[in-house]
Amino acid sequence: MTYRTEHDSMGEVLVPADRYWGAQTQRSCLNFRIGVGIETMPPEIIHAFGVLKQAAARANHRLLPAKMTEEKRSVIETAASEVAAGALDGHFPLVVWQTGSGTQSNMNANEVIANRANELAGEKCCHPNDDVNMSQSSNDTFPTAMHIAAVLGLEKQLIPAAETLIRELKRLEAENTDVVKSGRTHLQDAVPIGFSQEISGWRSSVERDVQMLKLALEPLRELALGGTAVGTGLNAPEGFDRLAAEEISRITGTRFVPAENKFHALTSRDELVFAHGAVKALAADMMKIANDVRWLASGPRCGLGEIRIPENEPGSSIMPGKVNPTQCEQVTMVAVQVMGNDAAVGIAASQGNFELNVFLPVLAYNFLQSVRLLSESILSFTQNCAAGIRADRERMKQNLHNSLMLVTALNPYIGYENAAKTAKLAYQENISLKEACVRLGFLTEERFDEVFHPETMI
């Protein structure tokens, strides 16, 4: 491998000749050999840096044209747009486990964009700090990148994935409006329920989660950019925050605004805690839905067996013909990961001191992993499981008519205590509710038939 010499305020450093990064990035590579190649800075953060550096160059050109000339703006913006598009991902090697402010990743972006801009210009006209980082600090850019990445992840990944599942559940609901089955509470038989009603509970849960995610988006639209080092805006021209937010909105196609209080924006991460709470709520509901599906599909002969789900792959290396509810299992594992991430997000957000929180990379890593995993998990479950759910109507009917809790329909006619006696006798003697009720003398056969209609109990 060949190297070139780069320098920073601490001296000279050898950097791989084919990489755009500079001395500060290289120092981080040398000093933080923790999770190298595995737990690197999330690509969503890198791409968000590309967006905000484009926006900053545009804002600086309008406010400080003598310093941010048209020539500099043009090449910086082109280089930053390549970062935003993911074209330069190979030039961002830094791990999550670095400085807690994310300074080294901000400098990674500054160095890559400056060197690529100089290459585009054909001359060394852009400096990482003086030009690419103009009017900025790592302390306001990293929180800004986190909010940009969070908003785009929720808007473009997680919410659309959840809405895809909602549409599939609506279809399944409409397909099963005439199906009545046994309800279950405490994993025990309960009164009847329509299968479409059961599905509507799943659908409504996901719809409510989407509502909460959309509510959580609003605080995330506020950006710290313009606060610079401690929130005072030192070295940033007046109006920079507003113009930069407008440009970020224009580039991303979604709304962002300057944070009203930059001191809060630099030190508090409550918006991300709130948003991840909504992500966790969706994960919790997905856990419940997936568990319901695999319980209902259990069997095929010794379980509930009330629904059929797609048979996607063999389920055992020793038991021929076995098929498992693997899509339900991946959903529940992802849900557990999201719940664990929520603890990390909350703890990291609680650790602000004075004018800065220095747990930003780990917070970003966990938040964005949750969004990415849950989005992909829901799409996989929708396509490979929910879309293929089929009701076993005969099994549902059999289970319904075998349920002792149908005795609840007799309460208005024979009273709670007599109904309980009827159910207990039927269970003890393994006879029908009708036989038990008649034997106990509570109703005649004719009257029982008049009042006992399980399908009308929903």
Residues with catalytic annotation? 186, 316
Maximum CA pair distance of the chain?
Answer: 101
Alpha carbon distances (Å) from 385 to 278, 292, 328, 396, 406 = 24, 13, 8, 20, 31
CA distance 12 to 366: 34
